[in-house]
């Protein structure tokens, strides 16, 4: 490994870097140039990009296809937090299965960020979400929420009080919980009751 000597930052560059770090901790991914500009109250994207280039030249970040990666960011060296493991949730044919296990799992800090007190983990039972790269036995990180947008993957109660993991789709005021596997059929629900939305997947090979 080659150690790079970082040059001292200006006050403005420190602010830009801190803003990027805060965004990554909160959301688990880097901001776009436009998002960064809004956070910094800089209207000109070119001005924001110049700050990014300066931070890159000084060794504080790298860019790959527009994605910003922070160099030496604490969460990238293996920082872990414990997240409660909550029962088995079917990603197949729904059934009642949503219980506290009393266990916890170690999760990379960057996946949780500032939401750590509002995150739980479920172990998937079923193959209805395999085309979304969520397979039987995978552990999925879920943010507690009672609302979600169409297109998001959610853990939801069905009308019979069973629990399932599916993608939410809202069309013409109709609500569907849609599998990501052609062998399974979408589920139309009368009353949407969301327990949380999926923010990440944990898998061991």
Catalytic pick among 46, 58, 128, 149:
128
Question: Residue 114: CB partners within 8 Å, gap ≥ 6?
Answer: 25, 26
Catalytic pick among 115, 166, 190, 204:
166
- Distance CA(168)–CA(153), nearest Å, equals 6
Look at residues 113, 204, 199 and name the one whose alpha carbon lies nearest to residue 153.
199
* Rg (the chain; Cα; Å): 20
Q: How many CB atoms lie within 10 A of CB 95?
A: 16
Decide if 30 is catalytic: no
**What's the N-to-C CA distance of the chain in angstroms?**
26
Instruction: List phi, psi (to 5°) of 106.
Output: -85, 130
Decide if 150 is catalytic: no
- SS3 assignment, position 120: strand
- Distance CA(99)–CA(8), nearest Å, equals 51
Look at residues 121, 140, 120 and name the one whose alpha carbon lies nearest to residue 180.
140
> Which residues are designated catalytic?
128, 166
């Amino acid at each position: 490994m080659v150690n790079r000597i970082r040059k001292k930052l200006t006050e403005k560059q420190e602010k830009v870097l801190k803003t990027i770090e805060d965004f990554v901790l909160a959301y688990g991914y880097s901001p776009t140039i436009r998002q960064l500009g809004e956070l910094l109250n800089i209207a000109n994207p070119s001005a924001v990009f110049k700050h990014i280039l300066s931070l890159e030249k000084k060794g504080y970040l790298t860019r790959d296809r527009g994605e910003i990666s922070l160099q030496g960011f604490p969460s990238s060296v293996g920082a872990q937090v414990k997240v409660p493991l909550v029962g088995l949730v079917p990603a197949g044919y729904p059934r009642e299965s949503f219980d506290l296990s009393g266990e916890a799992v170690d999760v990379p800090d960057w996946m949780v960020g500032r939401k750590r007190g509002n995150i739980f983990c479920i172990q998937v039972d079923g193959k209805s979400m395999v085309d979304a790269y969520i397979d039987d036995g995978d552990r999925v990180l879920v943010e507690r929420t009672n609302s979600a947008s169409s297109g998001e993957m959610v853990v939801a109660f069905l009308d019979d009080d069973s629990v399932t993991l599916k993608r939410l789709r809202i069309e013409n005021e109709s609500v569907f919980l849609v599998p990501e596997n052609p062998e399974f059929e979408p589920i139309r629900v009368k009353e949407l009751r969301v327990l949380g939305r999926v923010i990440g997947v944990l898998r061991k090979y």
